[in-house]
Amino acid sequence: MVRNAQKEKLFTGLARDLIEDGVAILQYADDTVICFEHDVAGAVNMKLLLYMFELMSGLKINFEKSEVFCVGGDDNILNTYAHMFNCQIGHFPMKYLGVPVSCTGLRNIDWLFLDEKFLKCCESWLVMPHLRG
């Protein structure tokens, strides 16, 4: 639905200079990131598209758990979209599929959680031989 709406020019995806028509959606299982350029009419079209998805699928989008992010816009734009989509305002870096994502470079501290996860896995591997003993 999103790709068809994008092809019909109902909204414009991001990074059109790198990818034809721009990136409109990143989706894996039930995690979805929708991307579009600043355009209130395009945002209204996206909101209607999401509403139609709810009606057609019988599924409910939990906008209260969703967040709106803005790259290069001011607080007024961000507040407009947050109100329009009935979402909270998110802050970078965000996590998508457990990986930090930011519109600017990530700091070393943003990656530390991966070290901790890796060390926890290694601890269980290192302890196992001692249990066989």
What whole-number distance in Å separates Cα of residue 107 and Cα of residue 104? 9
Three-state DSSP class for residue 80: helix
Identify the pLDDT of residue 27.
Answer: 82
Identify the pLDDT of residue 15.
Answer: 81
pTM of the model: 0.69
Query: Mean pLDDT of all residues in the chain?
Result: 82
**129 prior amide bond cis, ω within 30:** no
Q: Where are the domains of the chain?
A: 2-91
Reported as a single tens digit per residue, the pLDDT across 46-89 is 999 999 999 999 999 999 889 998 888 788 999 999 999 999 99
Q: What is the DSSP letter of 85?
A: H
Identify the pLDDT of residue 17.
Answer: 76
Identify the pLDDT of residue 128.
Answer: 59
Q: Which residue has the tokens 């816009």?
A: 73
